[in-house]
Amino acid sequence: MRKLYINAEHKKNVINPNIYGHFSEHLGRCIYEGLYVGEDSPIPNVNGMRKDVIEALRNIKVPVLRWPGGCFADEYHWKDGVGPKKNRKKMINTHWGGVVEDNSFGTHEFMELCAQLGCEPYINGNVGSGTVQEMQEWVEYMTFDGLSPMANWREENGRKEPWKLKYFGVGNENWGCGGTMRSEYYADEYRRYQTYIRNFSGNKIYKIACGPNGGDYNWTEKLMEIAGKHMDALTLHHYTVPYGDWGKRGSATDFTKDAYYNTIKQGLKMEELVSNHLQIMNKYDPEHNVDLIVDEWGTWYDAEPGSVPGFLYQQNTMRDAMIASATLNIFNKYSKRVTMANIAQTVNVLQAVVLTDGAKMLLTPTYHVFDMYKVHQGATLVDSFIETEAIEPYDIPDVSVSASLDAAGALNITAVNFGLEKSIEIDCEVAGMNINNATGRILTGAVDAFNTFEEPRKLTITDFPVENGKFTIPPCSVVLVSLR
Ligand code: AHR
């Protein structure tokens, strides 16, 4: 029996709901087909947005959505995506499959999507191939209230009221697909572009600078040194690739036990990355004015056989559920400084929470993790400690936990058993709280199990017994225990 110690009296920070955020790019079938089918589609929709997908995403309380990319952001020219659809310019989506992008989903549609989801928009601007003027005018178009060329154009396009927009990213992966820039060069470009991002009509923009790729600590050093005073947040991207080797990504559903544990090991690296980048940031910003945002994270395997390779469509198994829960526990732990995170990507791309096939939709194991973990959104993180055992020879812990207190006083504990053989018996010792009632929920299954369009509810959340603060987590499971 393991002890899980929780001190409900030691209240830490409020967990920013935005760490449960999402990312949707013009990539494969994420936006088109996945979220947006157009008003004339036979698939039930409201103003072109799929009803079934919106309803599923509302259930997990998506707090913030990043758009339009990704690599696509630094090729995107927003003016091509507004005005009458028949006049919108067509372009080649050179990063993702070389398909024709007809720009039928643009700024107005994205804002409509966020309104239907009830989430905050996070828009990523184009530094790599766009101009300062273009970026400045986009912000004016969206947020200026009054007479101005862009506000007038917005009204002509059917929207009189400006939108509220807080989160704006100045470029994406500018060390790679966003312009192959050196850190010093991007830092200077960032300074220049952000100067022209204005706060119009009482709207206050939170400026987000492009951060490092995984463990590129030099990028963080240089960005903070040169441009740290001009940003509200710096981003981090970390994808979980089995063995940390792009050549060994392998299948999403057909993998060995060794590949599984080596995927968990790579996923857990998120903690080291977050902690190390924060240390560098703190050196230049001891007052913690600059937040860390992990605006791309998740698993990345070979595309499903038969799918277009450039569309990054992959299935989602219990392995992905393990990565999701481990990562979200890490974000909770660092939520004082990590204020947003965006899983890549919401629908049909990489570690998606929803997959679609024509009119059919399924919820992935990763979706169910987000469903269980939504109790942490806006709750207060509390101290927790669990005794762990190492899974050898991988040198990874067998269990990870997180605990928070919600507004109604419930203590919600999320825990994951990474092991594939042994159950873990847990005895909670909670200080500072009388417990009268306990409930539990669980997601469990074979590590390579997944939902299909024929069997969409094979993996789903079920009830889980908790007695006298004691519970047993089966191998390869994620649980939510609520104590009141
Ligand atoms: O999420 C897929 C791609 O991964 C994004 O477009 C890019 O930013 C990253 O390299």
Percent of the chain at pLDDT > 90 equals 99
Output the pLDDT for position 257. 98
Residue 225's contacts (CB-CB under 8 Å, 6 or more residues apart) are 187, 284
Best of 23, 24, 25 for a ligand 1 pocket test (most atoms within 8 Å of beta carbon): 25
CA-CA distance, 366 to 374, in Å (whole number)?
A: 12
Output the pLDDT for position 150. 98
Taking alpha carbons only, the member of 229, 239, 24, 38 closest to residue 122 is 24
Q: Contact 4/399 with Cβ under 8 angstroms?
A: no
pTM: 0.97
Q: Contact 332/19 with Cβ under 8 angstroms?
A: yes
Beta strands in 250-348 (DSSP E): 291-299, 338-344
Q: Would you please indicate which residues are annotated as catalytic (active-site) residues?
A: 173, 296
Sort 86 into a burial class: Cβ within 10 Å, 0-12 / 13-18 / 19+. Answer: exposed
171 lines ligand 1 (CB under 6 A): no
Q: Would you place residue 470 in the very low, low, confident or very high pLDDT band (cuts 50, 70, 90)?
A: very high
CA–chain centroid gap for 326, Å, is: 14
> In terms of DSSP bridges, do strands 411-417 and 424-431 run parallel, antiparallel, or are they unpaired?
unpaired
Output the pLDDT for position 428. 95
Q: For atom 3 of ligand 1, which residue has the closest CA?
A: 70
Q: Contact 473/423 with Cβ under 8 angstroms?
A: yes
DSSP state of 352: -
Output the pLDDT for position 289. 98
Q: Give residue 184 CA to ligand 1 midpoint distance, Å.
A: 22
Output the pLDDT for position 460. 98
Beta strands in 286-435 (DSSP E): 291-299, 338-344, 354-357, 360-363, 380-386, 390-391, 396-397, 399-405, 411-417, 424-431
Show the CA angle centred on residue 264, arms to residues 261 and 268, nearest 5°: 140
Phi-psi region of 353 (alpha: psi -120 to 50; beta: other; left: phi over 0): alpha
φ, ψ for residue 403 (rounded to 5)?
A: -140, 140
Q: Would you place residue 351 in the very low, low, confident or very high pLDDT band (cuts 50, 70, 90)?
A: very high
Q: Would you place residue 445 in the very low, low, confident or very high pLDDT band (cuts 50, 70, 90)?
A: very high
Q: Give residue 392 CA to ligand 1 midpoint distance, Å.
A: 32
Residue 195's contacts (CB-CB under 8 Å, 6 or more residues apart) are 230
Mean pLDDT for the chain overall = 97
Q: Contact 329/401 with Cβ under 8 angstroms?
A: yes
* 183-206 pLDDT, tens digit each: 999 999 999 999 999 999 999 999
φ, ψ for residue 248 (rounded to 5)?
A: -115, 30
Output the pLDDT for position 208. 98
Output the pLDDT for position 176. 98
Q: Contact 430/339 with Cβ under 8 angstroms?
A: no
Best of 76, 177, 311, 313 for a ligand 1 pocket test (most atoms within 8 Å of beta carbon): 177
Residue 43's contacts (CB-CB under 8 Å, 6 or more residues apart) are 37, 50, 358, 359
Q: Would you place residue 24 in the very low, low, confident or very high pLDDT band (cuts 50, 70, 90)?
A: very high
AA letter at 2: R
Best of 237, 296, 300 for a ligand 1 pocket test (most atoms within 8 Å of beta carbon): 296
CA-CA distance, 446 to 41, in Å (whole number)?
A: 37
Q: For atom 4 of ligand 1, which residue has the closest CA?
A: 70
Half-sphere exposure of 62 (CA within 13 A, CB side): 30
In the block, residue with structure tokens 């601007």: 125
Q: Give residue 221 CA to ligand 1 midpoint distance, Å.
A: 22
DSSP state of 95: T
